[in-house]
Structure 1
Amino acid sequence: MLFAHDTVGALRAAVALVNAEEPPRTLETVADLDAFFRRFGYTGRHDGTQSELDEVRALAPRLRELLLADRDDAALLVNELLAEAGAVPRLVRHAGEDWHVHAVPDDAPLARRILVETAMAMIDVIREDEHSRLAVCADDDCRGVVLDLSRNRSRRYCSAACTNRNAQAALRARRAAHA
């Protein structure tokens, strides 16, 4: 595995959150936030309120900036975010998860925990010089973020929808060239 399980989980959650703000938006209701919380295995405080949803959604631009920054800028952003959050890393083990890192208390607001977990995950990306694993979707009409964890670094699209749309367009172009 390229990254530890908590790093992969935090990166996947951050990419999903950033992409949830792109059309069609997928994080619109408190129920959507509840599903996001469960899907990405978050633990700790979860208020399940509109205010919490608004705080989490407001993270998307900051996370996008962090995920797509070049290595040096990402390092500066990570340091700023961790200092701002008062992060103090500690090892924890709970509910079927082996040892992993938490850097803010479990009762900290969900938005703060997401931001810090993403920053902590980006430490591994920066240290391993794996920024090429993060990119903007190759679909010309999409601004989604791609997290490529494939061995051959072949992922170009943020979703199956973008992949399929581009595969169909390429097929039509090949057929038109043959005709």
Structure 2
Amino acid sequence: MPFGHDTEDGLLSVAALVNTATPDDTLTEIADLDAFVESWGYTGTHERTHAELDEVRVLRPRFLEAWSLSRDELVAFVNEVMLQYRALPQLVRHDEWDYHLHATPSDAPLASRMAVDAVMAFVDVIRADELDRLKMCAGDCGGVLVDLSKNRSRRYCDRGCGNRANVAAYRARKAAESVS
């Protein structure tokens, strides 16, 4: 495991957030946001309003761009987001989690907490010089992934792109066999 649990969770959740935008938007209703917040275990204030949904949706293209930044550009991005949301890292312990970093109070807006959680995870990626773990999906979905495999061989996101590629390859092999 290259990162701590809070870093992995932060990276995977921001990748999942970015991937809600492509290829089909799956974050269009408050209920969609409720399900996302529940599935990723976000704690603290959640207003369940259209304004909150819009604030979270705005994060997606911004963080998609982070996947294509160089190390120095990602540092600038992280610092910009931390300044924007006035991040103040503190050690906290809650629910089933032992001590880990939070950089926003639990009553901060959901989008603020999501953005800062993501850049806090990027901090560890930058410090460990592991930017090659942030990848674009090799499928045609336009999504992103976090490669936490030992051999850094992961190529597809979690939305079925790998299965579609395998089925297409299988069908191509079968078609080639039937021609010969």
Could you say whether these structures have the same fold, taking a TM-score greater than 0.5 normalized by the shorter chain as the test? yes
CA RMSD for the aligned pairs? 1.2
| Cα separation, 2, equivalents of 1:5 and 1:148 | 14
| Cα separation, 2, equivalents of 1:114 and 1:160 | 21
Q: TM-score, normalised by structure 1?
A: 0.95
Counterparts of 1:21-170 in structure 2, within 5 Å, are 21-139=21-139, 141-170=140-169
Deviation at 1:24, TM superposition (A): 2.2
Higher deviation after alignment, 110-119 or 65-74: 65-74
5+ unaligned residues in a row in structure 2: which ranges? none
Higher deviation after alignment, 86-95 or 67-76: 67-76
- Secondary structure of 2:67's aligned partner: helix
* Residues 1:4 and 2:1 are matched in the alignment: no
Report sequence identity in percent.
53
Match of 1:15 in 2: 15
AA aligned opposite 1:127: R
- CA deviations 1:66-105 (Å, max 9, x no partner) are 2331211101111111111111100000111100101111
Is contact 2:23-2:143 (8 Å) kept?
no
5+ unaligned residues in a row in structure 1: which ranges? none
How many pairs align? 178
Higher deviation after alignment, 169-178 or 75-84: 169-178
Deviation at 1:160, TM superposition (A): 4.4
Pair 160,33 (structure 1): closer, same or farther in 2 beyond 3 Å: closer
Q: TM-score, normalised by structure 2?
A: 0.94
AA aligned opposite 2:12: R
Deviation at 1:152, TM superposition (A): 1.8
